[in-house]
Amino acid sequence: MQKEKKDKHFIKKPIYPGGKKALQLFITQNLKYPPDALKEKIEGTVVLKYTVNHQGKVIDTKVISSLGHGCDEEAERVVSLLQFEVPSNRGVKVLHHLNIQIHFRLPKQKARPIQKKEAKPSYNYQYTPSSSEDAKEKPTSSPYTYTITIK
């Protein structure tokens, strides 16, 4: 009769559903660049320490490395939205302390070619029928007069 194989780790860590790539995708979709940081053109990384309870919810966040200009608060907001899957730890309610790095990078601006605004010509047409008195004084080939104004 063989012995039961023991787990490598006594306490099992929480796992984000979908793995690291899903976690990164969730953060990029929910992270909003703070207007103050965008205005000041602030880039960098915020390092957070957070606590996950036995239900998989983030209950506490603490900034370890700060950027300021609203980036810290935004990073804490996004991390507090995370929901983990916590495997059973033999009926013991365990708090897990984890670290995460949230990167703030300025959005890339598309290079737009500079276009000069050219004055488009405008046309003004005016139709003036000639009266019979004017026709007697000045003989013209056509009974109509046209005025074209180009600006």
Domain that holds residue 96: 19-104
Tell me, yes or no, whether 73 lies in a domain. Answer: yes
Looking at the domain assignment, is residue 149 inside a domain?
no
Distance in angstroms (rounded) separating the CA atoms of residues 142 and 145: 8
Q: What is the CATH number of the domain that holds 34?
A: 3.30.2420.10
Q: What value does the mean pLDDT take over residues 139-145?
A: 59
Count structural domains, the chain: 1
CB neighbours of residue 74 within 10 Å: 20
Considering the domain boundaries, does residue 136 fall inside one?
no
Is 11 inside a domain boundary?
Answer: no
Per-residue confidence band for 15, with pLDDT thresholds at 50, 70 and 90: very high
Model confidence pLDDT, tens digit, residues 32-77: 999 999 999 989 999 999 999 999 999 999 999 998 889 999 999 9
Q: How much is the pLDDT for 104?
A: 92
CA angle 13, 76, 55 (to 5 degrees): 35
* Contacting residues for 126 by C-beta, under 8 A, at least 6 apart: 146, 147, 149
Give the pairing of strands 44-52 and 96-104.
Answer: antiparallel
For 89-104, what is the mean pLDDT?
91
Cα–Cα distance measured from residue 106 to residue 44, given in angstroms and rounded to the nearest whole number: 9
128 lies in a domain?
no
| 49 part of a folded domain | yes
Beta strand spans in the chain (E): 44-52, 58-65, 96-104, 123-129, 144-150
Confirm whether 137 is domain-assigned. no
Q: What is the pLDDT of residue 115?
A: 64
Residue 33 is predicted with a pLDDT of 92
Residue 99 lies in a domain: yes
User: Helix or strand or coil: residue 133?
Assistant: helix
**pLDDT tens column, 102-114:** 999 988 876 666 6
Tokens of 31: 């992270």
